């Protein structure tokens, strides 16, 4: 099965990115054919500063490689290095109904967050469809909030195939029900746009400061607490082993445990969880030419696959 996913370089990657997507990407590469890319064209929809965009692209690449992405098993590239996908996006745009895009909730959500209502943001699902269809992807790992975009991709692919012949593989979304939304320190979904994140490779001292700021209710120390409604416990689930988590749950329910105590342990566990990857990340920071070479080599492999698909699509519509 060919797995495809992309991640935007719109800021430093955080533990929400890791537990919500990256961990699954790294696990899937062991059993499937992985195609993962840094979605730098998608990042342009929020008008980032050029200097920061360059830094974030490199940082995303280093994070993935440090966390265990194996470029011998997985094709890993920068989206803008395979311009054929943008060519395919135009072909798809010409058969995509406006109503389909107008029904996409993510456009409305991002505009509500203050992002400029530009055409790139509106047409984002078409480029995303091209990203997926260019590589004849079977499965697309996404969070539940991205499910609609995969449905749009399927609609576009089916419409194109019905009109011009069986060109595209119809992809399926791959949503792990066990992966809940990772809360940020303010209780909302962890997101760079909310400025409520804990970065994957953040220094231990900074991690502790942020964890201690996690929003909780005002239940007194001696009172019983509901772990299922606690942001700290939600994060604890991600890093504590089964026995320790069960012990914390008992302590919550019987009372006598303060949130501060749980937060201190959470900070320790988060630091310990990512500590094995720190040294590799430091080494990559010193060898950025290697990182860029990995992306270039990945782009060559990705381009070879995309070219076959785009040539078929162009021929199908009459652009022989």
The catalytic residue positions are 110, 189, 192
d(CA 186, CA 51): 29
| DSSP reduced 3-state for 317 | helix
CB neighbours of 52 closer than 8 A, spacing ≥ 6?
A: none
Q: How distant, in Å, are the alpha carbons of 128, 190, 192, 319 from that of 203?
A: 34, 18, 18, 53
DSSP 124-173: HHHHHHHHHHTTT-SEEE--GGGHHHHHHHHHHHHHHHHHH-S-S---EE
**HSE-up of residue 100 (Cα within 13 Å, Cβ side):** 22
CA distance 77 to 74: 10
Distance separating alpha carbons of residues 226 and 219, to the nearest angstrom: 10
Phi-psi region of 151 (alpha: psi -120 to 50; beta: other; left: phi over 0): alpha
For residue 227, how many other CB atoms are within 10 A of its CB? 18
Distance of alpha carbon 68 from the chain centroid: 16
d(CA 15, CA 115): 23
3-state secondary structure of 78: strand
Which of these, 179, 177, 174, 175, lies nearest to 189 by C-alpha position? 179
The count of other CB atoms within 10 Å of the CB of residue 296 is 12
Name the CA radius of gyration of the chain, rounded.
21
């Amino acid at each position: 099965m060919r797995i495809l996913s992309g991640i935007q370089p719109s800021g430093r990657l955080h533990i929400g990115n890791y537990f919500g997507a990256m961990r699954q990407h790294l696990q899937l590469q062991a059993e499937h054919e992985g195609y993962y890319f840094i979605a730098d064209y998608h990042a342009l929809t929020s008008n980032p500063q050029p200097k920061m965009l360059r830094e974030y692209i490199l940082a995303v690449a280093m994070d993935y490689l440090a966390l265990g992405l194996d470029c011998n098993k997985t094709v890993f590239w920068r989206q803008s290095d395979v311009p054929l996908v943008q060519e395919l996006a135009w072909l798809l745009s010409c058969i995509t109904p406006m109503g389909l895009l107008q029904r996409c909730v993510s456009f409305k959500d991002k505009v509500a967050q203050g992002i400029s209502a530009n055409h790139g943001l509106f047409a984002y699902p078409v480029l995303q469809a091209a990203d997926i269809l260019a590589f004849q992807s079977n499965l697309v790992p996404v969070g539940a909030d991205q499910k609609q975009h995969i449905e749009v991709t399927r609609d576009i692919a089916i419409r194109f195939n019905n009109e011009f012949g069986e060109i595209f593989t119809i992809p399926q979304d791959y949503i792990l029900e066990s992966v809940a939304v990772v809360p940020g320190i303010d209780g909302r979904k962890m997101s760079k746009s909310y400025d409520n994140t804990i970065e994957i490779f953040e220094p231990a001292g900074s991690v502790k400061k942020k964890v201690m700021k996690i929003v909780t209710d005002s239940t007194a120390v001696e009172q019983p607490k509901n772990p299922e409604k606690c942001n700290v416990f939600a994060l604890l689930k991600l890093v504590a082993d089964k026995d320790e988590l069960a012990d914390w749950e008992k302590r919550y329910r019987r009372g006598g445990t303060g949130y501060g105590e749980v937060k201190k342990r959470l900070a320790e566990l988060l630091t310990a969880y990512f500590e094995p990857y720190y040294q590799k990340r430091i080494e990559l920071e010193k060898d950025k030419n290697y990182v860029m070479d990995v992306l270039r080599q990945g782009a060559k492999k990705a381009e070879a696959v995309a070219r076959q698909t785009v040539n078929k699509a162009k021929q199908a519509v009459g652009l022989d």
